[in-house]
Amino acid sequence: MDDLQGFISENTKYAMLLFIALWIIRLLFFIPGVTLMFLGGVCFDSVVSFILSMAGIFLSETLVYVFSRMFSSGNMIKDLERKHPELKKLLETYNYKFLALGMICPIAPTDVVCFLSAAVGLKYRVYILTVVITNIPLLIFSSFIVINFSESLAGTVLVIVSFVLISVVSIKMWNSLKQKQNT
């Protein structure tokens, strides 16, 4: 870890560019963005990590949006409706709320949720604002987690409890949306 931080301090500009490139490359290998948020928290100062991760999120999720709009066909939407009719209805009914919930839930595949939201026609401005705003707490959280893992057991416990609570609340919200849709 000391070698990595030494390399970063000697080559800050290149390390920053490499980090942003990793955000784009991660899409090809299906690497969750949370992994890079934590990596940024380890490698960079908290503020720099936040800014770089936000730039990476903006770029990578913009690519997901463009890719979805270009390559999601009517047949794909029909297949989604045929195989998962409740999901398509949820996407159309709750559009940006569904996207926000998918971004908040730590166990949801966020790039898939983003792709589907764009495929059903969510406007780019609403899409990117939702993505950016819902990622702010997680970015702050990832900086906090790195600081607390290295400093105290109480901080580590607090982070784990927070993660569990966020998971439980987001799953309850998901179930609530599904119940509203069914009635």
pLDDT digits (tens, 9 = 90+) for 29-38: 988 888 898 8
Q: Which amino acid is at 6?
A: G
Domain count, the chain: 1
d(C-alpha 53, C-alpha 58), whole Å: 8
Q: Is the pLDDT of residue 53 over 80?
A: yes
Task: Give the domain extent around 155.
Answer: 2-182
Q: How far from chain centre, in Å, is Cα 42?
A: 18
pLDDT digits (tens, 9 = 90+) for 72-122: 877 888 888 888 887 878 888 888 888 988 888 777 789 999 999 999 889
Q: Which is nearest to 32 in space by CA: 87, 99, 112?
A: 112
Find out whether 51 and 14 touch, Cβ atoms under 8 Å: no
**How sure is the predictor about 4, in pLDDT bands with cuts at 50, 70 and 90?**
low
> Would the pTM count as exceeding 0.85?
no
Locate the DSSP E strands across the chain. Answer: none
Q: What is the mean pLDDT of the chain?
A: 83
pLDDT of 26: 94
pLDDT mean over 152-157: 66
31 or 127, higher pLDDT: 127
1, 9, 99, 151, 168 from 44: Cα distances, Å: 12, 9, 29, 17, 30
pLDDT of 183: 66
d(C-alpha 40, C-alpha 70), whole Å: 31
